[in-house]
Amino acid sequence: MQITKEQLVKIMPLSKRNADKFIPHLNKYMDAFGINTPLRIAHFLGQIAVESAQLTAWVENLNYSEQGLLKTFPKYFSKTLAKAYARKPQKIASRVYANRLGNGSELSGEGWKYRGRGIIQITGKSNYKAYGDYLVKTGMNVDLLKNPELLETLPGLIKSGCWWWWAHGCNELADKDSVILLTRKINGGSNGLTERTKFTNTAKKVLV
């Protein structure tokens, strides 16, 4: 199944500015990774609408204020630390993603290097390595760990999201028609569940 620019814009109005250049890649890689039924596509578009701010942003924004840090990352910031780190995205990423997701310590800077990128915001060295290994296995001569910025450009920012969806069993969750299970799988919780549900329901009306 192929989607049209008109359908995409009905689902995500803000995608209009990028629709022409994104549609060919979306259709190519959704099909390649089995996102090929109206229900699967509806759920995929409903999720990436939130993950990518309706296909307008594909690099994680970590430019948090002091209050934003305390609200979003209370585990990692005291009031004193929040004041010192506020509005310093590189330092923030290096701290909140340190020693997890395959990243090294805060001093390694890998939290920043492997921050969220692509339409599903692939995050962390281990996830970049997994996708990089897939690319090499399928015949592409790329070192993604050395060139993580490839997920900021076409086709990487779209292909990586379609791969992640497929590799983590999201097609099967979409077949169950569960926004909650998909949100949990992608986000690790229920962040943005209301918006994800709204976009998915709109996509169903347009596509199913």
pLDDT value for 188: 86
Q: What is the pLDDT of residue 65?
A: 98
pTM for this entry = 0.94
* Average pLDDT in the chain: 97
Per-residue pLDDT of the chain in tens (208 residues, 90 and over written 9): 899 999 999 999 999 999 999 999 999 999 999 999 999 999 999 999 999 999 999 999 999 999 999 999 999 999 999 999 999 999 999 999 999 999 999 999 999 999 999 999 999 999 999 999 999 999 999 999 999 999 999 999 999 999 999 999 999 999 999 999 999 999 888 989 999 999 999 999 999 8
Instruction: Retrieve residue 156's tokens.
Output: 């990487």
Instruction: Give CA–CA dist 94/85, Å, rounded.
Output: 11
Spell out the SS3 assignment of 77-129.
CCHHHHHHHCCCHHHHHHHHCCCCCCCCCHHHCHHHHCCCECCCCECCHHHHH
